[in-house]
Amino acid sequence: MNAKMQWLRNKMLSLDLQGLIISNPINVKYLTNIDAEGVLLLTRKENIYITDGRYIEHVHSILTLYDEIIVYDINDVSKDDYENFFMFCENVGFEENYVTYAEYKELIRKYKVNNLVETEHIIEKQRMIKDRDELKNIQKACEITDNCFSYILEYIKPGMTEKQIADEIEEYYKPRTDGLAFDTIVASGENTSKPHAVPTNRKIGEKDIITIDMGCKVNGYCSDMTRTFFVGEVPEEVKPVYDLVLKNEKQTLEQMKDGASTRMLTKMVENDFRFSNYDLIHSLGHGVGLEIHEAPYIGLKSDTQLKENMVVTDEPGIYLPGKFGVRIEDTVQITKFGCINLTKSEKNYIVI
Amino acid sequence: MNAKMQWLRNKMLSLDLQGLIISNPINVKYLTNIDAEGVLLLTRKENIYITDGRYIEHVHSILTLYDEIIVYDINDVSKDDYENFFMFCENVGFEENYVTYAEYKELIRKYKVNNLVETEHIIEKQRMIKDRDELKNIQKACEITDNCFSYILEYIKPGMTEKQIADEIEEYYKPRTDGLAFDTIVASGENTSKPHAVPTNRKIGEKDIITIDMGCKVNGYCSDMTRTFFVGEVPEEVKPVYDLVLKNEKQTLEQMKDGASTRMLTKMVENDFRFSNYDLIHSLGHGVGLEIHEAPYIGLKSDTQLKENMVVTDEPGIYLPGKFGVRIEDTVQITKFGCINLTKSEKNYIVI
């Protein structure tokens, strides 16, 4: 059994869980490397993956004996099998944040479990701390993102559309990575005031402001970076906003280390923005891994202590509707006494 | 209020629902054209959309007065507001197939609804029957898919990889559509025996078998088509399998019409396959619309009567692990007395 499965089994012991039903395919991939549709059951003694005819061949090609996972075709699992999987298990965990209400009722009916227990993100929490291989993949994804950004700065010329630029980023990533980590944001002019702008046919002007939010995947692991930059010159009205965002991005980086409180980090940025009459209208950051947004959430709504080998973003932004917006974002690896900035592209005024 | 919302409100009356909480973003888009993160509430008298700061501007740019939807910023909604939305509502529906168990508990806590009722796919069922605009979009997506397939038959040359072909299909779609409806399947040689093959670096041979499963989106609406074809010649061992799949694809098309039972359609294909010692290892088809897979499901597990203006696929397939597979799929519009095949590409032996 691999180290991640072993860790999870130890965690189950400490939580008095004798069984676990893992339905979230990202969690299944994290634990087993299986990339299919199915459910992973950790029973008292066995690890069982139930999938259907379409995936059996594929799953067998991924697993080795060392994985100690028994694969079932869902059509061969009888009513009795389901009831036997968790026999003599007092508490069986399920993923209440992934399983729908309808599926929950179905789990109870099918497995006849006495006590189906909410596991409160047990695996998502485990996923927050990255191991060496995971870090390597994210570092690589960030490196390629930096290179792509350098390339795209050379590529952009006035007259091109936002869509054209977004397509070129995708083309750059395609042969080098598993593809986009999320739909690239290329926003220009007043479109930069929309934090989640979708690339349009707006043409880049001779003098313009551009925000690009981009990332790719390497072996399933994501990178995430945003830069706001300028064509021709930096408009005077943008400078104070840019400076304020950059200052806060850098200050947050300085404070990101093992033990830091995510709520406090956010509060400090929010306070500094408020002082200049601006609002922080989205969270300050988020974890990055197999998913582009994963735990920990860095905002005001909840609090987490950053830990060594978490990978998170630092992305303050200010948006003036109908005018312009500025966001600067890095992907960052937390260390014992600080952090390593994995996206290393220039952050001072970039003028092309 | 638009016709779709009006229809839904009438349906609610007949189900004795005084309120409805719509969380599934596809259902929200279907009803309102809003393409954002948020929740749509149908209360006794109002239609309310709650979203967050990132989307407010975008949502306002989509809606008109005629839509009669009140937009709230989630940060401005108080505890009392939540409790007032469904005051005096006896039954409030929620989407038990979309809402997680954790969210369900949160809905109860937040809205203080007496009777939160499972709505059993109320909107998904409504979405099965397409209106004129929806049909136009799907027809367009199918037409472009046919054109793309013609183009790609000319494009493919021995020595190219599966990935290269999949990329070219994406390139073809990009300027003409909203992009891919799903990740294109390009499988060649023994890879065709995997129904959900992911394109690899395998090179197309001088004599080879290729399966392509492809589709695009037009204004959010999908197309879906599969063809299995040949380089050089049709191998003798493949012919009987191809013929059997094609025969069943065509027979199913003939029987697809208003009133047909989806289970019976599947049963007939299954029986015919069994007669030649083959199995139907996946469903026979599925609805197509804003989602590539939506209701109705066409298989053995449940039964639906096809209705006029449903759009579904017809996609029998036979897979011989390690050897080869054949699947042929069309997207089809159901009519009163038959069906219209929207994907019109050649289905007899194609040799390039």
Per-residue model confidence as pLDDT tens digits over B285-314: 999 999 999 999 999 999 999 999 999 999
Q: Name the helix (H) or strand (E) containing B3.
A: helix B3-14
Within 13 Å, how many C-alpha atoms sit on residue A262's CB side? 25
Q: Do A282 and B101 make contact, defined as CB atoms within 8 angstroms?
A: no
Residue to substitute from B74, B100, B278, interface A, most A β-carbons within 10 A: B100
Average pLDDT score, chain B: 96
Contacts of A325 in chain B (CB under 8 A): none
For A174, the closest of B99, B100, B167 (CB atoms) is B167
Contacts of A273 in chain B (CB under 8 A): none
For A101, the closest of B101, B195, B281 (CB atoms) is B101
Q: Which residue of B has its CA nearest to A317?
A: B54
Residue B96 confidence class, pLDDT cut points 50, 70, 90:
very high
Q: Do B196 and A54 make contact, defined as CB atoms within 8 angstroms?
A: yes
Contacts of A282 in chain B (CB under 8 A): 52-54
Nearest-neighbour CA in chain A from B189: distance (Å): 15
Q: Which residues contact A21 (CB under 8 A, 6 or more apart)?
A: A39, A40, A41, A92, A93, A94, A95, A107, A111
Entry pTM: 0.78
For B100, the closest of A54, A99, A282 (CB atoms) is A99
Q: Does the pLDDT of residue B107 top 90, yes or no?
A: yes
Q: What is the average per-residue pLDDT within B79-92?
A: 95
Give the span between the Cα atoms of A213 and A197, in whole angstroms. 10
Q: Do A100 and B102 make contact, defined as CB atoms within 8 angstroms?
A: no
The pLDDT value recorded for residue B64 is: 87
Give the span between the Cα atoms of B306 and B288, in whole angstroms. 13
List domains and CATH numbers for chain B.
3-127 (3.40.350.10), 132-341 (3.90.230.10)
| B311-314/B330-334 β-pairing | antiparallel
In this structure, of A60-64, B177-181, B218-222, B254-258, the range with the lowest mean pLDDT score is A60-64
Largest CA distance in chain B: 72
Report residue B154 CA to chain centroid gap.
Answer: 28
Q: What is the average per-residue pLDDT within B14-41?
A: 96
| A47-51/A38-42 β-pairing | antiparallel
The pLDDT value recorded for residue A32 is: 95
Both tokens of residue B112? Answer: 């203080």
Residue B65 confidence class, pLDDT cut points 50, 70, 90:
confident
Tens digit of each residue's pLDDT (9 = 90 or more) over A260-307: 999 999 999 999 999 999 999 999 999 999 999 999 999 999 999 999
Q: Does the pLDDT of residue B151 top 90, yes or no?
A: yes
For B99, the closest of A101, A282, A321 (CB atoms) is A101
Helix boundaries (H) for chain A = 3-14, 25-32, 56-62, 79-85, 101-111, 122-128, 132-155, 162-173, 239-255, 262-275
What ranges make up the beta strands (E) of chain B? 19-22, 38-42, 47-51, 70-73, 91-94, 115-118, 185-188, 208-214, 217-218, 221-222, 225-231, 285-287, 294-298, 311-314, 317-320, 324-327, 330-334, 339-341
Contacts of B97 in chain A (CB under 8 A): 100-102
Nearest-neighbour CA in chain B from A99: distance (Å): 5
This complex has an ipTM of: 0.76
Nearest-neighbour CA in chain A from B197: distance (Å): 9
Residue to substitute from B35, B57, B101, B281, interface A, most A β-carbons within 10 A: B101
The pLDDT value recorded for residue A54 is: 81
Instruction: Show which residues on chain B lie within 8 Å of chain A, measured between beta carbons.
Output: 52-55, 57-58, 94, 96-104, 118, 167, 174, 193-196, 279, 281-282, 321
A–B CB contacts, 8 A cutoff, strictly below = 68
Bridge partners, residue B213, by sequence? B185, B226
Q: Does the pLDDT of residue B37 top 90, yes or no?
A: yes
Q: Does the pLDDT of residue B66 top 90, yes or no?
A: no
Q: What is the average per-residue pLDDT within B167-181?
A: 95
Contacts of B195 in chain A (CB under 8 A): 53-54
Residues of chain A with pLDDT under 50: none
Contacts of A195 in chain B (CB under 8 A): 53-54
Helix boundaries (H) for B63-160 = 79-85, 101-111, 122-128, 132-155
Q: Which residue of B has its CA nearest to A107?
A: B101
The pLDDT value recorded for residue B24 is: 96
